[in-house]
């Protein structure tokens, strides 16, 4: 995908399996939204194509797909119910069915008293709820959600995640763009991390975690932690440290050996826990320097 002679997306290929929730991740400017819009024909791609069930996607088949853009696309001078009814009819619902569905949904998300309010009188989070309703009201088989919980407080974020989870359990396939890593770990079956228009990592969450060091050791201690070929000291405070296991080329390192070496070095170990790197830690590792350079 090229813009004005500059390549934005290059050699990117991935699949989203029927019925799964797929995380499409990356820092700002990594090419996430551009990729989605190119696949959906909103942008004219230089090359590449989106297949759904093995068939090339065309806008005429859009009734099977629900797309929630990062920027809201609502008619702001009209009432909430008018806008939702209009989009419902575009998606093939009768006016009566669109009104009934919209009112039920608005009650569900706490906007039952806003049905007659103009869209531009709603808060950003309220508009996002309306936008999501428009996206899911025809029960699409494939949901593409670009920052679906942007601007939400934790209560409303959980409500929207519950609604998305219901759609998945009903058989929908979900592709989700988000910076909320805890949502990704809770909901997503597989992920792709995009950097500079290329796939930096791709697979299940455990596969991605293993790709980036796999195991983190967190210790509470007294003494001076020695250097070791078996770990890097990623965090070191007065009485706390985080050790990232390194690849020595000889296979996985036994955490018990690390503990024994620390004790042999005279370290008083008060706590010793191991865990996989979280997606948030991996995200910071992959994009931290890039974000700092961009002032993010």
Q: Are 61 and 81 within one domain?
A: yes
Least confident of 177-191, 253-267, 275-289: 275-289
Q: Are 231 and 183 within one domain?
A: no
Q: Are 56 and 191 within one domain?
A: yes
- Residue 167: exposed, middle, or buried by beta-carbon count in 10 A (0-12, 13-18, 19+)? buried
Q: What does the pLDDT read at residue 88?
A: 93
pLDDT digits (tens, 9 = 90+) for 32-48: 888 888 888 888 777 77
* Closest listed residue to residue 98, CA positions, set 86, 106, 107: 86
Higher pLDDT: 3 or 258? It is 258
Q: Are 59 and 119 within one domain?
A: yes
pLDDT digits (tens, 9 = 90+) for 219-257: 999 999 998 888 888 888 889 999 887 765 445 567 888
Q: What does the pLDDT read at residue 250?
A: 45
CA distances from 143 to 59, 71, 196 (A): 15, 16, 25
Q: Are 140 and 238 within one domain?
A: no
Q: Are 147 and 170 within one domain?
A: yes
Q: What does the pLDDT read at residue 175?
A: 94
Least confident of 105-119, 141-155, 205-219: 205-219
pTM of the model: 0.77
Q: What does the pLDDT read at residue 294?
A: 41
CA distances from 261 to 33, 229, 268 (A): 48, 12, 12
Q: What does the pLDDT read at residue 225?
A: 92
Domain of 8?
A: 2-204
Please check whether residue 293 lies inside any domain of the structure: no
pLDDT higher than threshold 80 for residue 91: yes
pLDDT higher than threshold 60 for residue 120: yes
3-state secondary structure of 59: helix
- What is the count of structural domains for the chain? 2
Higher pLDDT: 54 or 157? It is 157
Q: Are 171 and 87 within one domain?
A: yes
Please check whether residue 194 lies inside any domain of the structure: yes
Q: Are 240 and 130 within one domain?
A: no
> What mean pLDDT is reported for the chain?
85
CATH number, domain at 115? 3.40.50.300
pLDDT digits (tens, 9 = 90+) for 174-225: 999 988 888 888 889 999 998 888 888 899 988 888 777 667 899 999 999 9
Please check whether residue 170 lies inside any domain of the structure: yes
Q: Are 164 and 228 within one domain?
A: no
Please check whether residue 102 lies inside any domain of the structure: yes
34-41 CB contacts, 8 Å cutoff, 24+ apart: 34/1, 34/8, 34/9, 35/1, 35/9, 35/194, 36/67, 36/144, 36/146, 36/175, 36/177, 38/1, 38/9, 40/65, 40/67, 40/144
Q: Any idea which residue has 């290329």 for tokens?
A: 198
Cβ neighbour number for residue 46 with a 10 Å cutoff: 13
């Amino acid at each position: 995908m090229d813009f004005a002679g500059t390549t934005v997306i290059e050699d990117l290929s991935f699949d989203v399996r029927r019925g799964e929730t797929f995380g499409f991740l990356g820092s700002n400017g990594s090419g996430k939204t551009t990729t989605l819009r190119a696949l959906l024909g909103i942008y004219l791609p230089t090359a590449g194509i989106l297949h759904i069930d093995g068939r090339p996607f065309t806008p005429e088949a859009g009734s099977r797909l629900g797309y929630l853009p990062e920027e809201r696309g609502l008619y702001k001078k009209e009432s909430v119910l008018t806008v939702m009814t209009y989009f419902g009819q575009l998606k093939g619902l009768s006016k009566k069915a669109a009104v009934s569905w919209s009112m039920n949904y608005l009650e569900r998300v706490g906007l039952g008293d806003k049905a007659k309010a103009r869209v531009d009188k709603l808060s950003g989070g309220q508009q996002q709820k309306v936008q999501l309703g428009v996206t899911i009201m025809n029960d699409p088989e494939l949901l593409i959600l670009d920052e679906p919980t942007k601007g939400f407080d934790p209560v409303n974020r959980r409500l929207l995640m519950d609604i998305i989870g219901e759609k998945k359990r009903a058989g929908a396939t979900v592709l989700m763009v988000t910076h909320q890593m805890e949502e990704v770990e809770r909901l997503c079956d597989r992920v792709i991390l995009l950097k500079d228009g290329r796939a930096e990592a791709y697979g299940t969450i455990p596969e991605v975690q293993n790709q980036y060091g796999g195991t983190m050791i967190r210790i509470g201690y007294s003494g001076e932690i020695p250097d070791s070929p078996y770990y890097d000291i990623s965090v070191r405070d007065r009485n706390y440290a985080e050790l990232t296991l390194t690849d020595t080329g000889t296979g996985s390192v036994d955490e018990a050996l690390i503990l024994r070496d620390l004790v042999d070095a005279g370290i008083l170990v008060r706590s010793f826990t191991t865990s996989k790197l979280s997606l948030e830690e991996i995200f910071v590792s992959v994009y931290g320097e890039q974000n700092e350079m961009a002032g993010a």
